[in-house]
Structures are given as structure tokens and as C-alpha cells.
Amino acid sequence: MDSLETDVVVVGAGLAGLSAARALAAQGRSVAVLEARDRVGGRTVNEPIGDGKIVELGGQWVGPGQDRILGLISELGLETFPTFGDGLNLIERRGKVRDYRGTIPKLNPVALAEVGMALKKIDRLAAKVDPERPWASEHAHLDRITFDTWMRRNVRTAAARDLMRLAIQAVWAAEPEDISMLHMLFYVSSAGSLDLLLDAEGGAQDSRVTGGTQLISNRMADQLGDSIYLEAPVRRILWSGDRVFVLADGIQATAAHVVVAIPPALAGRISYEPPLPPARDGLTQRMIQGSVIKTMSIYPEPFWRSAGYSGQATSADGPISVVFDNSPPDGSPGVLLAFFEGKAARDAAGLTRGERGQIVADCLARLFGERAARPDNYVEKVWAADEWTRGCYGGYLPPGAWTSHGHALSEAIGPIHWAGAETATHWAGYMEGAIQSGRRAATEILSAGNEGTR
Amino acid sequence: MDSLETDVVVVGAGLAGLSAARALAAQGRSVAVLEARDRVGGRTVNEPIGDGKIVELGGQWVGPGQDRILGLISELGLETFPTFGDGLNLIERRGKVRDYRGTIPKLNPVALAEVGMALKKIDRLAAKVDPERPWASEHAHLDRITFDTWMRRNVRTAAARDLMRLAIQAVWAAEPEDISMLHMLFYVSSAGSLDLLLDAEGGAQDSRVTGGTQLISNRMADQLGDSIYLEAPVRRILWSGDRVFVLADGIQATAAHVVVAIPPALAGRISYEPPLPPARDGLTQRMIQGSVIKTMSIYPEPFWRSAGYSGQATSADGPISVVFDNSPPDGSPGVLLAFFEGKAARDAAGLTRGERGQIVADCLARLFGERAARPDNYVEKVWAADEWTRGCYGGYLPPGAWTSHGHALSEAIGPIHWAGAETATHWAGYMEGAIQSGRRAATEILSAGNEGTR
């Protein structure tokens, strides 16, 4: 058992934890980052696919307005490139595949009008939800209903409901009945509009990072040097007065503060002494990790491009709900990214890798023709099976939780500070939010005054 | 670190765990019961109040149809006595206190008719929900809405909604917006009817156990002798082939099977190796412990009895929602049991014991007069603050969870079996259900054939 003493212990070496550590180190604080995995990056991870190329099995997109992550990418000497979107997009519904351009697919005009009106209503409601205090908003009563209930009241046609369901799956990796309407509004409010969340060009899926988003964490970790401890899952946090003791496998650390930068669902599995107050513990009981399986089918070249397709597709028939061209910047090899989301991901989690690969091949063939059914390679990540994530894209709250326990999401408890994309108020759930949350936790500690503990 | 080898390890010495251990021991299996607390009984606990008398700070009532617990009480040489109910009950709403007899309080006739119709509708819906497989019922789509949404569609008057809310608080220690309508139907179906859950005489609150319900666990534990290990919280469960290793503070045990007999929310905090499959882990992320603070105000005698009151009261004005005469069988001392439930419990959890005592005194005085504001003694238990329970009465599921993850609630995984009142299909959430679940887990193990491990 190694022992160490430091100003601040950070639990989790994802973007939030590393951002916190970096902000603290920049102000002269000593830090130790304890990470359960054998790598940094959390929910961002690069997977080599040969020839020095990689695919990203986790978070990968950035977009305008996400100033922290864009600034960090540039500061670390990394570059972005636009998500491939030239050509026709596809939508599949009731066995038919149609092509279209932009974010909103071709459907009957009534359905499209309904979707447009629903998006506007949601944006109008979200504009009045302060992401710092959703429970105090004039729309807080919408925490009593699921998004599904709201949708059934506000969207009548089956086609429009199918599109809305796809939007929920794409953004939250959950089903409309899983999510509190107030949670949805919080999330939209933190980003600006639902369109922004859904859009590729100009939205949350606008651009990608050359070399893969895990490089962001890798480079931050390089700067932090030997302050990072891998394969050190934290099991217990004990505190008393102004000292906190953090026990991980193989390491025990003493500090003045700890930043817990992992999703609330996992933070609740650490044992705390004294036990956390009911509000915080109850929050961790209520925040659920989304359900997504990210798959990549790899071909010698992006054959759909020459046929005039962007590689972007969405299917209401499933089980694959969303597809993107995810080829490297030079277009070689060709990569189709396909998501199982929500119910589809839960069902597919019980299958074998081979069975999932076959499902993906079948879905891609329906969209892009038989050629798509024969990739050279198939890689995937079942995020709910990953012990140190237990679901992606992130945590969401069911009805009743924001209004009863929301205040405990990021309120520090003694020397324990909370970070992670779930605790963000700007682009909550995104890489941008993760960075914001880590820096906010660092600011809490720095503004607590000179610790004088070493 | 003590090491032990046994046929079966049981995690948790509540009614479920002890029932499992007892059923296994009766068939000649060796067992070791690892309990985190310094006592057995789980969510049942006796608190001495002097003169050899006790009050129960946890589960305390039994009723007709609960054959397992009634049989066990008798088998262990214990006795029951009727819940005190002679005299007038009280209901407070909008600052007015009215008296009534029976379960349904005096309100305006429209409201009463609405409540009666709603109860009938709920019972009719519940009758078609198989508690073994709620997700497969023809009403499974009701998992998409909260009980609050159902109520707003089916109950129009404010008075009737207030009564329904009180019913939800009383049975689930939650608010109508917290609970999936399908969960409510599952729970009602497992008991038989909503009336049964709400009723004192003839229902779930019919009778009490002389000496307190913790005696049931104490006597089972006596029979199990040195198989019980207290202050041994289980941290990790590792399994491989037909061996399972259970690591608790100070003890490591090897066995052929383990029965995890704690609420799902807590079972999810144990570290498993290999990690649990997504469906089971996701279930533990979704099952939320209710919010209740049980308080007891103690007086020299039950002064309300001589004034013609039963001591049973309910208040829509709160924060105390339900009151019972909880005096010992001989009526000395006089005890008024008062619950904070749902939102009221969450709010009050952030107060001091003294502040809560004052709130209880104020509420009881409004109901029973000034005399009630001056108890000799006040005892309470904030169940959400208890690290080894984290909320009572039990776990409930929000919308979307039963249909997506319900099957994982009690399905064994390798040598790991699940018990606890949440996994019961007869009186789920009650002491009866806890016993049923423990015996069911034992049966799973016994029917797996001769282990021959020792």
C-alpha cells in the first residue's frame, strides 16, 4: 500500500478530473489523480484500427459555443476537422428508406410541422429553466411527468412521435418514458437549444478531433506527469475536520480536499465516512446512466460517398437508430458509426458480439446497400458493461428527482467536491460540460483560501 | 482477517437473509450470514424506552393473508395483538380537523366517490398485473407514466387528489410523481388490493407483535447461533466456476452460493468480479429507496383514548402525514407514532433532531390538542441517513424501469442469488415479502442440486 500526501486528490482521470487537476496545479496546488482504469480519458477512448488510424469508442464530437473544449484542443496543439456531411442523408421508417438534406428528414408535412412546433415549444420552455437551479424554475412542475407524457400531449402524428423518440435516443441514450421533462429542459437549456443538440453542422456533432478525443486527456495527463495513478479504483473516502483520506486499491492518500469526478451513479458506490447526508445519497440513487452501444464498421473506403450519400442516417425501425460517416480525416479507411441507443442498447447488451455485429450489418445494408453488410472489421463498446462507466452518454434523472434532490448534484460536502459532465451547467453531459465542471470544482477549492496543509 | 468456508454465504441479516439461512440450514447446508450492522433485523429494530418497554423504529405491522410472517411469529413463540383503533380517527386538511371512523375519512361526497372509483380502477388494473412478470402484463404500457399522471387523468377534485397523495406517501414513502404507475400496480397486485395496503383492521396495519418485530429476527438468529457475523459489511463478491468469494470487513468467506439479501440500491454498491451484466447493474441504478422518518412521541398514558380518539390520524397539511397509537399492548406508556413521508421526509432530513421534534409536537397538537405537544420523550429514525438501509420502507421503480430492467430484479447470476422484500411477489415490500424472498432464494439453491463442496 503506497501512501501519499497532497493538497487535493482527484477521483477519476476523465476530462472533468484532469481539468480540475490541471486548474489546481496551475495555481501551485499539489494533486494526485486516482483512476480506476489502466488509461486516462474516461468516456473518451481511442481504439487503434491499424495503419496508425484510430476510431473513438466514446465521446467524439465538438461544436460551436463549446468554447472550453475548443480552447483546450487548440491549447494542447490538437486540431479539429468537420464531421463528414456531404451528400444525402437517409431516414428509414416502416420499411422505407428516404433521402434528405440537413437535420430534419423528409416526412409528411403534418408530421414535420408538428416536430417543428414541438422543438420550438421545448426551446421556449427550456429558456426559462436556469441550469444552475432547475428546481426553482417556473416550469419545475414538469418534473412530475416523463418526456413521453409531454410528447403524447403535444405531438399527435405517429411519424412526428417517431422522430421525437429518435431525438431522445440520440441525445440521452434513453427512451422518452425514462426521462423527466424537467431534466430534458435542463439539458437543452444548458446547451442553448434542442436543435443545437441534434445538429451535425453548426451543432453538437459539428466537428471531430484529429487523432481522436482521447488525445485531449492523454496530453493533459502528460502535463500532470506522475500525479496520475492508474488502476487505482477508489473504494472509501473518510474525512474529519480539514483532512480527507482517500483509499484506493494499492494507494492511500491524505489531502485537504477531494474532487470526485465520476458519474453520480458511480460516486454513490464509494463508501463514505461519515456517511453522506440523505439528499446527496438519494441523488446518487436517482441518477441513471444512459444505455448505448457504439459500433464501428470498417471498410476499405467510404463507398457511400461516391454514391452521393453522407453516411448520416437515422432509423425509426431500429435497432440501429443513428449512423454517421466516421472515417478518419483523409477518408481512409471508410468507417460507419452505428449506435444502439435506449431500449435497443439494453436488448442488444444481452447478445454476443457476433450477434450484434450481424444486426449492425443488416441495418447498414438496408440503408446503404449490400456492400455495407461486409465490413473488413467491426469494433464496438457496450458502455453499460464497463464497470467504471456503467452507461453512456451520461446520467439522467427520472421524474421527481430534480425537484427533490437536484440541489445535491454539485453542492460540496465538507472537503468533498463533485465534478463530472452531469454536474455541468453549460453543455451538461458533453465534453464541454465535463471541463466546465472540473474547473468549477477547482475554483471551489481555490476560493476556499490557502489550505496550508503541506 | 478471518477466513471461513461454507455452503452458502448470506449477505444481510434482515428477515430475508435470516429466512434464507434458516431454510438452508434446515436442509443441512452450512451457512454464514454477514451483516454490516451490529445487530440483526435489518429494517426492523426495537428501541428500548424504559421499564422493559420498546418501540419499533422500523417495520412493525402484520395483517391477514400474510401467512408466512404470521406462521413464523407463532413458530418462534411470539404473539400478536391488534393495532389500537377504538374511537374516532382524525383527518386534517386545509387547516380543519374532522373525525371519522374506518379507513376513508369524511370529505365532500364527490371527492369520496372519486377516491372510491379510483381505488376500484387501480384494483382492476392490478388484477391483470402478474407480480412475477409485470413487464409482460397487458398494462405494461402504464410503465410510461408516473402515478401522478394517472391520477390527474382519473381524479379531478383537489380533495380526492390529496387523499390519493396521502395513500401514496403512506404506502411507498414517496410522491405520486416519483413512481411508475406499473410499479404501483405490481405492488398492489402482490398484496391483493390497495384497500388491504391502506387498512388498519383487516389490512396491512391490522396487528402488531408483542415485544416488537425485531424479536422475530433475534430468535431466528439465536437458532442460527455462531453462523451470524455482525459488523461485517460486504464489500466485494468474486466468483469463478462454482466458487464464490465474499469479502467483508474482517472476514473472507468461500462458498458455492451467495444470497444477497439487501435492497437493490445497496446491492449495487458491492463490487462484483466479474462485473454484473448491464441489465442487473442497470436495475440497481433504477431502484430508489423511499423517504421516511419514523417518530415516536411518548406520554405517561394514551390520553387521547379517554377523549374518544383512536390515535389514528392523517394530515394533508403535513409535514406529518400519518399518525397511529403505538402504545405497548397494556397501553402504558402512551405512544403516538408520526411519520414524515416522501417530500416531507426529504425536507426534514436536513433539519436537526430538535427541529423535527418541534414539528412533530406542533402537528400532534393540531390533531390531539395541546397535551400532545409535551411528550416525556421523543425518539426517531431517519432511515435515509442509515448507511445500511438508505431509505424505507423499500425500493420503488420510476417510469421505464420495470419494462426495461424488471427481469433482472431476482434472476440469479451464476452463484449469486437475490433476496429482500423488493424481490418478493407476495406482499412485495413487507415483512411477509422479505420472508417469501429469502425462502425463494434458498429454494433456488437447494434445487440446484447437491453442492458437495465441503
Whether the CB-CB separation of A415 and A330 falls below 8 Å is answered with no
Chain B residues near residue A275 by CB distance under 8 angstroms: 385, 387
pLDDT at B272: 98
Report angle CA B414, B416, B418 to the nearest 5 degrees.
130
Whole-number Å distance between alpha carbons of A414 and A190? 27
Say how far apart CA A66 and CA B124 lie, in whole Å: 52
Chain A contact for B263, CB < 8 A?
no
Residues in chain B with CB shorter than 8 Å from the CB of A392 are none
List, in order, residues 6 or more apart from A118 with CB less than 8 Å away.
A151, A154, A155, A160, A164
Determine, for residues B143 and A178 on separate chains, whether the beta-carbon distance falls below 8 Å.
no
> Which site among B141, B142, B147, B177 would you substitute to test the A interface, given the most A Cβ atoms closer than 10 Å to its Cβ?
B177
Residue of B18, B47, B7, B26 lying closest to B437 (CA atoms) = B18
Q: Quick check: B206 contacting A, CB < 8 Å?
A: no
Answer whether A399 sits within 8 Å of B148, measured CB to CB.
yes
Asked whether the beta carbons of residue B282 and residue A288 sit closer than 8 angstroms, the reply is yes
Closest to B34 in 3D by CA, of B21, B52, B49, B48: B21
What integer pLDDT is reported at residue A449 of this predicted model? 66
Q: Does residue A302 carry a pLDDT above 90?
A: yes
In this complex, is the C-beta atom of A390 within 8 Å of any C-beta atom belonging to chain B? yes
A390–B281 CB contact, under 8 Å: yes
- Please say if the pLDDT value at position B454 is more than 50: no
Any idea which fold A46-86+204-212+291-385 has? Polyamine Oxidase; Chain A, domain 2 (3.90.660)
Q: Contact B195/B63 with Cβ under 8 angstroms?
A: no
Q: Which residues of A touch B149 (CB under 8 A)?
A: 144-146, 149
Q: What is the mean pLDDT of residues B29-45?
A: 98
Record: contact A145-B146, CB cut-off 8 A = yes
Of A196-200, A356-360, B281-285, B336-340, which range is least confident? A196-200
Q: Which residues of A touch B267 (CB under 8 A)?
A: none
Q: Looking at residues A167-189, what average pLDDT do you find?
A: 98
Q: Is the confidence at residue B109, as pLDDT, over 90?
A: no
Chain A: residue nearest B288 by CA?
A285
B359 touches chain A (CB under 8 A): no
Judging contacts by C-beta atoms under 8 Å, the chain B residues touching residue A346 are 278-279, 282, 404-405
**Model confidence pLDDT, tens digit, residues A3-22:** 999 999 999 999 999 999 99
* pLDDT value of position B450: 52
Distance from CA of A399 to the nearest CA of B (A): 6
Tell me how far apart the alpha carbons of residues A284 and B271 are, in angstroms, rounded to a whole number. 16
B373 falls in which pLDDT band (50, 70, 90)? very high
Question: How far away is chain A from the Cα of B397, in angstroms, using its nearest Cα?
Answer: 10
DSSP 8-state code for residue A413: B
> Which amino acid, one-letter code, is at A159?
A
Query: What is the C-alpha to C-alpha distance for residues A206 and A65, in angstroms, rounded to an integer?
Result: 11
User: Which pLDDT score is estimated for A106?
Assistant: 72
Which pLDDT belongs to residue A451?
Answer: 47
Q: Which residue has the higher pLDDT, A102 or A54?
A: A54
What number is the average pLDDT over the span B92-121?
A: 89
Q: pLDDT tens digits for B212-268?
A: 999 999 999 999 999 999 999 999 999 998 899 999 999 999 999 999 999 999 999
What pLDDT sits at residue B451? 47
Q: pLDDT-based confidence at B453, cuts 50/70/90?
A: very low
Interface of B with A in 67-96 (CB under 8 A): none
CA distance B404 to chain A (A): 7
* Interchain pair A350, B279: CB under 8 A: yes
Does domain B108-196 sit in CATH 3.30.565.10? no
Decide if A234 touches B, using CB distance below 8 A.
no
| ipTM of predicted complex | 0.95
Are the beta carbons of B277 and B310 closer than 8 angstroms?
Answer: no
Strand pairing category for A309-315 and A88-93: parallel
What's the whole-number average pLDDT of chain B? 96
Q: Which residue of A has its CA nearest to B178?
A: A400
Mutate to test the interface with B, among A141, A146, A168 (most CBs of B within 10 A): A146
- pLDDT for the residue numbered A450: 52
**Total beta-carbon pairs less than 8 A apart between chain A and chain B:** 139
- Interface contact B277-A390, CB threshold 8 A: no
The proportion of chain B whose per-residue pLDDT surpasses 90, expressed as a percent, equals 94
Superfamily classification of domain B2-42+213-276+413-447: FAD/NAD(P)-binding domain (3.50.50.60)
Q: Could you give the CA distance from residue A179 to residue A176 in angstroms, rounded to a whole number?
A: 6
Cβ neighbours for A2, distance < 8 A, ≥ 6 positions apart? A250, A251, A252
Contacts of A175 in chain B (CB under 8 A): 400, 404
Q: Are B231 and B36 in contact (CB under 8 A)?
A: yes
Q: Which of A172, A404, A413 to mutate to test the interface with B (most CBs of B within 10 A)?
A: A404
Share of chain B above pLDDT 70, in %: 99
Q: What is the predicted pLDDT for the residue at B102? A: 76
Minimal C-alpha gap between B102 and chain A (Å):
31
Q: Which of A265, A269, A279 sits opposite B349 (nearest CB)?
A: A279
Domain B46-64+79-86+204-211+291-385: give its CATH code: 3.90.660.10
Q: Are strands A96-100 and A88-93 parallel, antiparallel or unpaired?
A: antiparallel
User: Shortest Cα distance from A135 to chain B (angstroms)?
Assistant: 14
Alpha carbon of A303: minimum distance to chain B alpha carbons (Å)? 35
Quote the pLDDT of residue B244.
98
Cβ B149–A148 below 8 Å, yes or no? no
The model's pLDDT over A213-243, given as tens digits with 9 standing for 90+, comes to 999 999 999 999 999 999 999 999 999 988 9
Residue B449 has pLDDT above 90, yes or no: no
CB-based contacts of B294: which residues, under 8 Å, 6+ apart?
B57, B58, B337, B339, B380, B381, B383, B392
Task: Judge whether residue B356 has pLDDT over 50.
Answer: yes
Distance between B362 CA and the closest CA of chain A, angstroms: 24
Query: What are B267's three cell numbers?
Result: 446491492
The pTM of the full predicted model, rounded to 2 decimals, is 0.96
Banded model confidence at residue B15, pLDDT cuts 50, 70, 90:
very high
Q: Tell me which chain A residues have a C-beta less than 8 angstroms from the C-beta of B398.
A: 178, 286, 398-401
A338: nearest Cα among A309, A355, A315: A315
Does residue A453 surpass a pLDDT of 80? no
Give the H/E segment covering residue B239: strand B234-240
Q: Is residue B379 pLDDT above 60, yes or no?
A: yes
Q: Where are the domains of chain A?
A: 2-42+213-276+413-447, 46-86+204-212+291-385
User: Which of B146, B387, B400 faces A144 most closely, judged by CB atoms?
Assistant: B146
Cβ–Cβ contact A387 with B under 8 A: yes
Quote the minimal CA–CA distance from A141 to chain B in Å. Answer: 10
